[in-house]
């Protein structure tokens, strides 16, 4: 690529670049294949019903980086790779989680996630040329223990949310939130501390 934004002496694979949070080509064949495997597992998981708990658990264990004991995730679930998503114990994830796990997404124990929440790690260059050429990067997301995300919350790339924090429905979290607060709005802002 003539105007590649990447150092030509960098010989890392696109997967290595992606995991490191550096620019990588989104349509790399190796990454594309990994994504297809995840899509197949995701499709199988999303086709299950509530009485198929052992099958659901087995599919989640194949799809995700890890999933804690007594964690329930209601389908549909949407991921890019699944392998970069780790979820702690005793979590509840309602319908329609979109976890674009290009970078790691780490969810602590006892987390509650409302319906149609989006956890978005990908970023894109602002310059039109590299963006047109399919270069992108990503930044990790971390949710501490006992976080509650209301329905429709969007968490942007690179955000960490501290333990026990509650984020109101429909909020857009663009910056880190500390532990033990309630945050609401677009962009989300702290409105009160929790006892």
For residues 95 and 115, what is the distance between their CA atoms, to the nearest angstrom? 5
Burial of 60 (0-12, 13-18, 19+ CB in 10 A): buried
Q: Are strands 24-25 and 135-138 parallel, antiparallel or unpaired?
A: antiparallel
Q: Which residue has the tokens 């997301």?
A: 141
Q: Which helix (H) or strand (E) holds 30?
A: helix 29-46
Q: 82-116 b/e with 16+ CB inside 10 Å = b?
A: bbbbbbbeebebbebbebbbbbbbbbbbbbebbeb
Which of 36, 49, 84, 124 does the annotation list as catalytic?
124
| Active site annotation includes 116 | no
Q: What is each CA distance from 39 to 35, 85, 109, 185, in whole angstroms?
A: 6, 14, 26, 32
Q: What is each CA distance from 101 to 22, 38, 52, 184, in whole angstroms?
A: 14, 11, 25, 24
- Residues whose CB falls within 8 Å of the CB of residue 95, separated by 6 or more in sequence, listed in order: 74, 75, 76, 115, 116
Q: Which residues are catalytic?
A: 124
């Amino acid at each position: 690529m003539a105007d590649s934004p990447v150092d030509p002496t960098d010989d890392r694979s696109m997967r290595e670049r992606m995991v490191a949070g550096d620019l990588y080509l989104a349509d790399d064949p190796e990454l594309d294949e990994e994504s297809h495997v995840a899509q197949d597992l995701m499709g199988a998981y999303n086709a299950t019903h509530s009485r198929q708990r052992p099958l659901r658990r087995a599919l989640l264990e194949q799809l995700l980086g890890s999933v804690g004991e007594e964690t329930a995730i209601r389908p549909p679930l949407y991921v890019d790779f699944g392998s970069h998503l780790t979820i702690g114990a005793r979590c509840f994830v309602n319908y329609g989680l979109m976890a674009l796990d290009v970078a790691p997404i780490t969810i602590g124990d006892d987390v509650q996630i409302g319906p149609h929440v989006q956890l978005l790690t990908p970023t894109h260059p602002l310059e039109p040329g590299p963006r047109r050429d399919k270069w992108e990067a990503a930044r990790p997301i971390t949710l501490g223990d006992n976080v509650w995300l209301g329905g429709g919350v969007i968490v942007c790339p690179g955000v960490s949310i501290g333990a026990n924090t509650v984020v109101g429905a429909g909020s857009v979290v663009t910056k880190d939130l500390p532990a033990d607060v309630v945050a609401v709005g677009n962009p989300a802002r702290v409105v009160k501390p929790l006892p």
